[in-house]
Amino acid sequence: MKSKERVKASVARREPDRVPVNYGANSGIERRLKAYFGLAPDDGEGLRRALGVDFRGVHTPYTGPKLHPDVPGRSVGNWGIHRRWVEHSAGGYWDYCDFPLKDATLEQVEAWPMPSPDHFDYSRVREQCERNKEFFITAGGAGTGDIINQSGMIMGTERPLIGLATDDEVFLRLADRRLEIQLECLRRTLEAARGGIDAVWLGEDLGSQRGPLISLDLFRRHIRPRHQRLVDLAKQYGLPVFIHSCGSSSWAFDDFIEMGIDVVDTLQPEAANMAPAYLKQRYGGCLAFHGCISTAGPLAYGTVDDVVANVRETLATMMPGGGYMLAPTHAIQDNSPTENVVAMYEAARRYGTY
- Residue 274, H or E segment: none
User: For residues 133-154, b (16+ Cβ closer than 10 Å) or e, as one string?
Assistant: eebbbbbbbbbbbbbbbbbbbb
Q: What is the mean pLDDT of residues 8-34?
A: 97
Model confidence at 337: pLDDT above 90: yes
* 91 pLDDT tier (thresholds 50, 70, 90): confident
Neighbours of 89 (CB within 10 A): 7
* 94 pLDDT tier (thresholds 50, 70, 90): very high
Which is nearest to 325 in space by CA: 315, 333, 340, 316?
Answer: 315
Mean pLDDT, all residues of the chain = 97
pLDDT in tens, 197-230: 999 999 999 999 999 999 999 999 999 999 999 9
Q: What is the pLDDT of residue 252?
A: 98
* 196 pLDDT tier (thresholds 50, 70, 90): very high
Cα separation, 38 vs 286, in Å, equals 42
Are the C-beta atoms of residues 319 and 354 closer than 8 Å to each other? yes
Q: What is the mean pLDDT of residues 280-301?
A: 98
Q: What is the mean pLDDT of residues 128-145?
A: 98
Check residue 117 and report its DSSP letter: G
Share of the chain above pLDDT 90, in %: 98
Beta bridge partner(s), residue 138: 57, 199
Backbone phi and psi for residue 139, each to the nearest 5 degrees, phi listed first:
-120, 145
3-state SS, residue 86: strand
Q: What are the structural domains, with CATH classification, of the chain?
A: 3-68+102-351 (3.20.20.210)
Check residue 288 and report its DSSP letter: E
Model confidence at 96: pLDDT above 90: yes
What lies within 8 Å, CB to CB, of 350 at 6+ separation is none
- Residue 82, H or E segment: strand 82-88
Cα dihedral sign for 272, 241, 227, 192? positive
Cα separation, 268 vs 265, in Å, equals 9
Model confidence at 260: pLDDT above 90: yes
Are the C-beta atoms of residues 341 and 299 closer than 8 Å to each other? yes
Q: What is the pLDDT of residue 179?
A: 98
Q: What is the pLDDT of residue 37?
A: 98
**What's the pTM value of the predicted model, to 2 decimals?**
0.97
* 27 pLDDT tier (thresholds 50, 70, 90): very high
Cα separation, 158 vs 248, in Å, equals 19
Cα separation, 282 vs 257, in Å, equals 12
Q: What is the pLDDT of residue 188?
A: 98
What lies within 8 Å, CB to CB, of 265 at 6+ separation is 142, 201, 203, 242, 243, 244, 245, 290, 291, 327
Share of the chain above pLDDT 70, in %: 100
Are the C-beta atoms of residues 18 and 347 closer than 8 Å to each other? no
Q: What is the pLDDT of residue 90?
A: 86
Q: What is the mean pLDDT of residues 321-325?
A: 98
pLDDT in tens, 232-258: 999 999 999 999 999 999 999 999 999
Model confidence at 64: pLDDT above 90: yes
Model confidence at 43: pLDDT above 90: yes
Q: What is the pLDDT of residue 257?
A: 98
Q: What is the mean pLDDT of residues 315-341?
A: 97
